[in-house]
Amino acid sequence: MWLTQSRDGIHDDTAAIQSAIDDGNRCNTLLCSSSSTTNAVVYFPAGTYKVSSSIILLYATNLIGDPLNPPTLQATAGLSGFGVIDGAQYQPGGILAYGATNIFWRQIRNFIIDMTAIPPETSATGIHWPTAQATSLENIVFLMDKHKGTQHQGLFIEQGSGGFMSNLQFYGGKYGAVFGNQQFTVRNLRFYDAVTAISQIWNWGWTYQEIYVQNCTVGLDMATRDEGQKEVVGSAVFFDSFFTDVQIAFNISKSSNSEPSTGGSLAIENVQLTDVDTAIQYGPTRRTLLAGATSKVIQSWVTGNVYRPHGPNKLATTQTPFSRPVELTLNNRFYSRAKPTYSVYRVSDIASVRAGGAKGDGKSDDTAVLQSVINAAAAANKVVFFDAGTYIVTSTLLIPKNSKIIGEAYPVIMSSGSYFNDVDSPKPVVQVGKPGDVGIVEWSDMIVSTHGAQVSPFQKNFSILLKVIRSHLLHFMVLALYRYIAGICHILISYRQ
């Protein structure tokens, strides 16, 4: 769906935006539960869209703005609802739509969320995002009120099992982001002029990489306990990050008597402090655990159970940092990069698999056509575009080095047939690279799945659907089911009976 409304910042675009999202008998919260046969991409051209009530995001929906000139969603002073974008609207009885741990296959990217017209004393949220795996937030700017007493928050997550987010910027607000979710991989978040940059209200385990906090009272606040004084934050890993002009970088509540014993664990590595009053504070008594400094690098500091190599040893102190393989580092930090958008590519540089002859109808054998399109695109330095659909393959699909592949609304590569049914010689659905290859592969926003009874993917030593040749194929690594690939790809590996 291509959104073409007034986008002049004067007329109210709320109804038109919602109509575009709802179009096509979509997975309405009252009609279905965490399933959809009508995935959607809603594209926002550049402009300013006035929003007077929450934009309700349906299941399996991608909101994508112009990457070269991100559109602005401008909240009115009287915005109604929970969030400029509500990713899971509360239903009667206080139940989240779909169930937060069952919300898959969606993303929001390339937007400016402007909440500055909302009075500072009014509670306001940019994006409400309870979500699960194969979801992402990318390249979003949150503009909030900066006055004393502001009640604005940019991003609010209270439930779910994510997920990935990167390249987010937060300006102002009481909270830049409030995070409560089982786990997330978070990279390149920047916070300016907030009271608290990140409020971690609960988790199982979060990973924070390249976080920038400037002119905030508190950086990461994870001093959170329940009514029984038990820790509700499981753990956080925080590395390759920067704090500037911050009163308290980390506020924690873990002690040697904490319950559960591993609750509230925090591991910090390679964190730069500039004009920080207190590096780490024990929140319940406001006791300083590690002093701040005008200029200082925390090489490694841990509170939790440490094994070197035996344990557990309950510690809250500096540690000798782990060595980092030089192949995985750049400028003394772990290598990372943003997910590619291919926004500067010309239309002629994009190779559609459907234009190349693939059916994507869930019935036709598309193996030969897909392989031909992928091979030709890699040789010509083009991007392979998988149009929305389900593509049946009856033998292993090989992705050669230097391939760039992106999907529309999470298309599916689905294995089918006897080729994949030999339990003594399991075959991958997709193979990335060949032995001896050196190069780069970019692959994002797709699903790899199976059709019917296929014995090899999950029998015989847990053979996997996706085979990666470990032959110096740089920048490409598999991080288990429902994880992201190299920080740039989101692939859901699933099994369908």
pLDDT digits (tens), the chain, 497 positions = 555 567 888 999 999 999 999 988 777 766 677 667 778 999 999 999 999 999 999 988 999 999 999 999 999 999 999 999 999 999 888 888 888 998 888 999 999 999 999 999 999 999 999 999 889 999 999 999 999 999 999 999 999 999 899 999 999 999 999 999 999 999 999 999 999 999 999 999 999 999 999 999 999 999 999 989 999 999 999 999 999 999 999 999 999 889 999 999 999 999 999 999 999 999 999 999 999 999 999 999 999 988 878 888 888 999 989 899 998 999 999 999 888 989 999 999 999 999 999 999 999 999 999 999 999 999 999 999 999 999 999 999 999 999 999 999 999 999 999 999 888 888 899 999 998 888 899 999 999 999 877 764 433 333 334 444 433 333 333 322 223 333 333 333 333 33
How would you classify the pairing of strands 72-86 and 106-114?
Answer: parallel
> How many residues in total does the chain contain?
497
Strand positions, DSSP E, 48-105: 48-56, 61-65, 72-86, 90-91, 95-96
How far lies 415's CA from each of 54, 360, 394, 401, 446, in Å? 40, 13, 6, 22, 14
pLDDT at 1: 53
pLDDT at 478: 31
Instruction: Give me the half-sphere count of Cα atoms (radius 13 Å) on the Cβ side of residue 304.
Output: 22
279-295 b/e (C-beta count within 10 Å ≥ 16 → b): bbbbbeeeeebbebeee
The answer to whether residues 271 and 241 touch, using CB atoms and an 8 Å cutoff, is: yes
pTM attached to this predicted model: 0.90
pLDDT at 234: 96
CA 279 to chain centre: 27
The answer to whether residues 410 and 37 touch, using CB atoms and an 8 Å cutoff, is: no
